[in-house]
Structure formats: C-alpha cells, structure tokens
Structure 1
C-alpha cells in the first residue's frame, strides 16, 4: 500500500459504495503522504439537459476528466482514484488516455442486492421516483458489469466498513491483479 502510484477506477453499480470507498482511499493516501486526487465521475458530468444520444453525459465526463487530470498533474498529483462506471471494454482505453497514459487498475465494488436496497432506500428516502429508478438500475447495471467482466479485481462491500474495503482495494492495486488468491485475473474478496 505504501508504494501506490497510479490510478484506480472504482467500478460498480449504484449503491455499491464507490464514492464512499474513494473517500476512504483518499484519507489513507493522505496519511501515507501520497499526492493524489479523488474524482467522482458523476459530479463532473452533471449538466442538464444531456444530449439525446448521450443520456448519462459520458462525453462531457471524458472531456472534463482529461482537463482535471492535466490540472492535478501540474499541481504534483501522482495518483488518481476514480469512482464511476465502465460498462463497455471500449471505454477503458479512453479512460487511460484521459489519465495521460497512466497505469489503470479497475476494481469492481460489489454488494449483495439486499445491501444495495438498504443503501439506496437510505439515500433516496425523500425521493420515491429516484429510489425506484435507482433500484431498477442497480440490478440492471450489476448484471451488465458481471457479464462484461472488465475488472482487474472485485471487492465485496456487503459486510465490511468502507475503510476495510479501501484498504483491500489499495493492497490489491499495489500487488496487481495476480496474487495467490486470484484465478483468471480476478480477486474476489468475501467477508
């Protein structure tokens, strides 16, 4: 964990804990004196209206990410932690390019469906329409991510604190995707 310099993409469905884990990784890297930036990809693509051909404003996200990375790098940032979603393998080279060619480890954060429901209910307790959309999207997106299998490793956040998940992600990112507990380039950590 002390040697981490690179980029981690925290991939996962809504409610998996990507943004919370990214914040914890940031605290750990700060304690280790690693110059880093945490980028919540949802926040850099929030604009309305989205073009009809790009309902999630992905193209805006990519342009903004490249600009942010350049600015952060100019300020001395060495490590990047991205929280977002990669649904398609063709996007991975685009993220690497936006990161200035830096190495990129992709970690899927996952959680049991019951845990996702609990988290989303808490997040959208005053937004029933948003809750319904996110509950449906959570299942749809998890299925897409499992089928695409784009990740270097997978960490289950169902029964662990975000701090524990963050430490596991960093340990796996430093080791790389091939460890004694890995098969077929996938590390699956379960409570």
Structure 2
C-alpha cells in the first residue's frame, strides 16, 4: 500500500482536495480510501499533554488503515495537519506503508476568507485564523513535505497537481 498525507494550515482545503484526489483515483479505477484524520481524533476532552489527540488519532489510523487494506485499497489519501518529521515517521509506521506528504499552500488572505465562510457566526473563527498563521510558520521551518501545491486555484486543478506531484515523488523516493 502507498499513502499520501495532504497537510497544510487550517482552512487551506485539505479535506476538499483529498476528496477530489479520491475522485481522480476512482476515475482511474485505482482501489483507494480517503481518510479525514480530524475524525480519527475527534473526542473530548483531550488530555492536557496531547491537546490535539495525536495518540488517539494514530491508534485509530493503525486500525482503519489495516481495515482499508483488507478491503482492497491500494492507496490511502489522508487529510490532516502534520507539524514535524518525527510525527511523519509515526504516521508511516501506523499506516504500515510508504508515506508521501503534500503541503497545500495559499495566501493567508485566501485562507481567512475561507475560514470566515466556514465559521460564520462561530466564536471559534479567531482561533482558526490565528492557528492558520501559526501553522504556516511551523511548516516553513519543519519541511515535512515532499512537494507543495498551490491551493488557491480550482479544486480539480489542485487535485490533479497533487496526483502528479505524488507520482513524481514516488519515483524519486
């Protein structure tokens, strides 16, 4: 099995692009599964020493990846936030597969606009806007990705660029 993790800041379109990559794979008749990692850790309360529930996410990912492989998936497309290289290795181990990482990038003004639409009237909007900027700084220093794709273009174009980058990265790895 091979896996792609699409990462980037909050609001950049990770889940939307992952679903569109799944559509590209389906059109090519490639057995696959798409996993939004947020749902694998969505549990409250989170422990004080693991505020984003990474440990729960990895345990769940291990089980889900195995189930999808048993069901015939050859490729996994993951959407989630990956902040450092040590966690990248942990994701690859949990999946039990080669992991390629794509970072989506968009101007923070584009991300703010998307977040404002998604969180209209939501008290958490400011937290998400702040987190997006914080993550951009983390990604600039961490270099967790194998390639970067501009996410401020139509989703179908972003998905095609992601698939092209994934295939190119696999040839290099």
Give TM-score, length-normalised by structure 1: 0.87
Distance 2:132 2:107 in 1: 11
Which residue of structure 2 aligns with residue 50 of structure 1? 46
1:126, distance to aligned residue in structure 2 (A): 1.9
Which residue of structure 2 aligns with residue 149 of structure 1? 143
Distance 2:170 2:133 in 1: 26
The structure with more helix, counted as a fraction of residues: 2
Which residue of structure 2 aligns with residue 176 of structure 1? 169
Which residue of structure 2 aligns with residue 111 of structure 1? 106
Encode CA deviations 1:121-148: one digit per residue, 9 max, x unaligned. Answer: 0000020x21010000000011101111
1:175, distance to aligned residue in structure 2 (A): 1.4
Map 1:7-22 → 2, pairs under 5 A: 7-22=3-18
Within the candidate set 156, 160, 166, 1:163 is matched to 156
Name the SS of the counterpart of 1:150 in structure 2. Answer: coil
Structure 1 segments, 4+ long, off by >4 Å, are: none
CA RMSD of aligned residues (A): 1.5
Encode CA deviations 1:29-49: one digit per residue, 9 max, x unaligned. Answer: 111111111010001100000
Give TM-score, length-normalised by structure 2: 0.96
Within the candidate set 37, 47, 54, 1:41 is matched to 37
Conserved 8 A contact 1:153-1:177: no
1:103, distance to aligned residue in structure 2 (A): 1.4
- How many pairs were matched up? 173
